[in-house]
Amino acid sequence: MSCRKKLIAMVLCLAFSFVFLTGCSLMNKSTSKNTLRVAAISDPGTADTQLNTEEYTLPLNIFERLVEVKTTVPGVSELVPGLAEKWDISADGKVYTFYLRQGVKFHNGEELTADDVVYTIDRMLNPKTKALNTNFFDMIAGAKERMDGRADTTSGVKAIDKYTVEITLAQPFAPFLANLATPAASIYNRKATEAAGTQFGLDPEKTVGTGPFKIKEWVVNDHITLVANDQYWGGKASLDGILIKIVPDADTQKMMFETGELDVFNCDLARTQIPYFEGSDKWKSQIVKGPRVGFYYYSINQNIKPFDDIRVRKAFQMAINRQELLDKLYFGKGKLVNTIVPPGAVGYNPNAPQISYDPEKAKQLLAEAGYPNGFSMVIAQTADKPATLRVNEAVQAMLKQVGITVEIKQMDKASLLSTRKQGQLPAYMDEWWADFNDPDNFIYTFFAPRNSVIRSFNYKNEAITQKLEQARVMINQEDRYKLYQEMENEIVINDAAMLPLYSTEHLFVVQPKVKNFKVAWNGWTDMSYYGISLSE
């Protein structure tokens, strides 16, 4: 290339960069004063929730579902009609008939019909989609054949007429309605989605939903702009739009919040800032909080000696001061959990037996098990989790007091997950937050036989296995919840198969102009912003 051409190329490149950067800056400055400004730590990658299991802000605001979850009071939720205004369930619990709201429009002007629902579910199960969330629909009749490529459609999903959808399950599945209320079950428009092809979820103009907001602009790793849907069936949002800024560093988010560049600061991303905000005369009255439905826990691998001995497992439970961990590492913002179904989830048992902190009893149990001088063990964790390391180091010191010597083994994430999937990972601390509000989301997820292996619990209890399957097909919900409570008492207290630690709170700090900000019931911090307003 000649020097002249190089010079021209450099000038054009600089000019383009200037336009791009100032364009972004002008965009941020030119957004309406009635635009809510929030931050995300990473770019969501795609708005297609069938291909995303981690980022839900976009799906919760631009798409909708047949059934929705409504937060009634902090930490408490209920299932309510969404795109389906009502539904019937057959006496045998297998056939669900959904009656759609009429006149609901997608962002492209197309009316919502039963065909869109059929298309959405079949798209999820179509192996060509390579969906990540098929477990939310795989209980539907014909789902397995569709996923295996042995069928061209999903036989259990039918459009009865323009506004009626019939979904038949292979067998009764009690959590089905709760499944339908997850972001993964967002309903798509057949015409727009098929036309978009691989650009669906990426190109704002081609990503079409029925929700109260629609995507206007997406600059990858910089910002996403949502604007209010003027034709939203539930009534236009009070906000003109939402500006989602991608800011990976939590300290930078805090600085932007304090200088007024953000309207919301999520303390879940920087819990060390909680004492600052709570002690600030300016901000302490602007904190909005509520239970986070989920919990932290320690796994116990019963295939690794000496944890095949129940006395050792109980000693492990009793040697850890969970309240001290919560107070010192989480500033006391939460509550101890003695169950697998956490506070705020349906079926939670507030009267469950307590796991006591009793190091002297732990020493006695270890001696009875043949370990009067203790033993050595490994606690595994991923190498890039400093918060997890702090907990593990505190637990390491606690276990040392009863004679248990702990090696903290830091592993890369891929190796850890691979080892865990094989059922060979030593004890580890992890967390689990609710995607859908049903005990099945917790107890079956951990302790169904296959799940118990791939999560490296290796818990074997045939009676529990039978009850887990029984609970999935029960029609009476109250009886189901009682059965789950019996199971978790057996698993946690009698068999000491895991150590639940605590459930933490959601804490947000909002600018004074932000009104009607409500903490969602679930385990993630992503939420719908419909219903929030701004007032100077």
Q: Which residues are CB-neighbours of 23 under 8 A, at least 6 positions away? A: none
Residue 288, strand partner residues: 508
Q: Which residues are CB-neighbours of 411 under 8 A, at least 6 positions away? A: 380, 381, 382, 383, 419
| pLDDT at residue number 75 | 66
Provide the token pair at 47.
């708005």
What is the rounded distance in angstroms from the CA atom of residue 44 to the CA atom of residue 52? 8
- CB of 256 closer than 8 Å to CB of 247: yes
Cis amide bond preceding 306, omega within 30: yes
CA angle (54, 59, 64) in 5-degree steps: 140
Q: What is the pLDDT along the chain (536 residues), one digit of tens a residue?
A: 443 333 334 433 444 333 334 334 434 555 789 999 999 999 999 999 999 988 899 999 999 999 998 877 766 778 899 999 999 999 999 999 999 999 999 999 999 999 999 999 999 999 999 999 899 999 999 999 999 999 999 999 999 999 999 999 999 999 999 999 999 999 999 999 999 999 999 999 999 999 999 999 999 999 999 999 999 999 999 999 999 999 999 899 999 999 999 999 999 888 888 999 999 999 999 999 888 889 999 999 999 999 999 999 999 999 999 999 999 999 898 999 999 999 888 899 999 999 999 999 999 999 999 999 999 999 999 998 898 999 999 999 999 999 999 999 999 999 999 999 999 999 999 999 888 889 999 999 999 999 999 999 999 999 999 999 999 999 889 999 999 999 999 999 999 999 999 999 889 999 999 999 988 877 778 899 999 999 97
CATH class of 213-291+505-534: alpha beta
CATH architecture assigned to 294-504: Roll (3.10)
Integer angstrom CA distances of residue 247 from 42, 201, 220, 224:
7, 21, 12, 12
Instruction: Spell out the domain ranges in the chain.
Output: 63-200, 213-291+505-534, 294-504
Residue 241, strand partner residues: 35, 227
Fold of 63-200: Dipeptide-binding Protein; domain 1 (3.90.76)
Which SS3 state, helix, strand or coil, does residue 283 take? coil
3-state helix, strand, coil in the chain (%, to 5): 35, 20, 40
- CB of 334 closer than 8 Å to CB of 505: yes
Chain centroid to CA 74: 17
Q: In residues, how long is the chain?
A: 536
| pLDDT at residue number 23 | 39
